[in-house]
Each structure stands twice: as C-alpha cells, then as structure tokens.
Amino acid sequence: MHMSATPALGFISMSFVRNPGELLAIHRELLALAIEHGLHLTKVYVEEPGPPSAAFDLLESLLESDGQPLVVPTLHHLAGLGHPVQIRDHLRQCTHEVLIAAKPAERTC
C-alpha cells in the first residue's frame, strides 16, 4: 500500500454547528481539505458544548505527535482553548500547521 499522505487531526466545535447534517458537511469539508493538501485525516475531535474535553484531548495528541497538522472549519472552532488566533500562532510555533476549511468570502466590490 502506498502511504505518502501525512497524518493530520481535525477539530470541530459543536458550538458553531447547528445540526447533525451540518456536522457531516463540515466533516466532509475537513476531509476534502486534508486530501487537497496531501494529508490523511486520522481523527476528528468533536467538542460538545460544556467544559472542553475533546479540545484538550486534541492538544495532547498534537503535543505527542511530531508537527502533525490540524484541520479546522474556521478559527472560531478553537475558541474553547483560548483566543483562536493566539492558539493558531502557538500551534504554528510548535511546528503544527493549522489549515482552515472555510474559504474567505469573495469580495464583490
């Protein structure tokens, strides 16, 4: 079997998801983005509302990995861990690339 894809982790916060159908759609977006970047999404952590637990499991997995990339729908999904931009910058400093699935809105003017 040809294994060239780099393993990556995903993270979705249910605080930003309206229903199971949307969760499924977001999950597919993360998978598509990972594939597009030559990554293999090995696990997607889903944070339920309430005290963060999946978020900390995710951080633990990232810390144990060697620069494993993280795929998120938007930076907002990292808010449970702190300020999303600071979390992203910290992960990048620790050699974890953070990929964002949501495309920025096109400017129309």
Residues 23-74 pLDDT 10s: 999 999 999 999 999 999 999 999 998 887 898 899 899 989 989 999 999 9
* Mean pLDDT, residues 83-92: 95
pTM (2 d.p.)? 0.87
In angstroms, the CA 55 to CA 67 distance is 17
Query: Do residues 13 and 47 touch, judged by C-beta distance below 8 A?
Result: yes
The SS3 call for residue 36 is helix
Percent of the chain surpassing pLDDT 70? 90
Residue 23 has a CB neighbour count (10 Å cut-off) of: 16
- pLDDT the model gives residue 1: 46
Residues forming a β-bridge with 99 = 71
- pLDDT the model gives residue 81: 87
